[in-house]
Amino acid sequence: MQHCSVLVARGGDLTNTVLRENVSVPEIGVLIGIHGVDGVLRMPDSTSEKSVKHAEEYDRIANIYGPEATSAILGQRGFNINLPTRLSAVFADVADEPEAEEIKPAGPTKRAGIKLAMKSDDGDELSID
């Protein structure tokens, strides 16, 4: 999950700002929901990547901003919560890193010679090679 530093304009007021460091993408989403899209500015060159469990991050955010605000912006906490992880999900000016180029073999490829055989309900043998 990506993290970065943001400048938060309280209530969207650019004369009343606070620097928040090491803020996760879902938390940025909540801050944008509270302070407005123009009230959260990403600090350049502050992006880092951290391994974070989604359920633990959701609970941490809900503990800070309250369950009502958190669920209104991130959705209800479920058993298998899936939070946004890339800055491009919350900032329009951030592009995702380009996908790694697909590696293609230099020459012709051969199948590994694997044969799959099974029987249908009627007892007929089916095979895929």
Determine which of 11-25, 46-60, 68-82, 109-123 has the lowest per-residue pLDDT on average: 109-123
Cα distance between residue 31 and residue 10, in whole Å: 9
Cα distance between residue 39 and residue 28, in whole Å: 11
Provide the 10 A C-beta neighbour count for residue 90. 22
Q: Is residue 75 part of a domain?
A: yes
Cα distance between residue 36 and residue 25, in whole Å: 15
Q: Is residue 122 part of a domain?
A: no
Cα distance between residue 116 and residue 104, in whole Å: 25
Query: Per residue in 69-90, pLDDT tens?
Result: 999 999 988 777 889 999 998 8
Report pLDDT for 31.
94
Cα distance between residue 5 and residue 55, in whole Å: 22
> To which residue do tokens 């123009």 refer?
38
* Confidence tier at 122 by pLDDT (50, 70, 90): low
Q: Is residue 121 part of a domain?
A: no
**Does the predicted model carry a pTM greater than 0.85?**
no
Q: Please give the residue range of the domain that contains residue 44.
A: 2-89
Domain count, the chain: 1
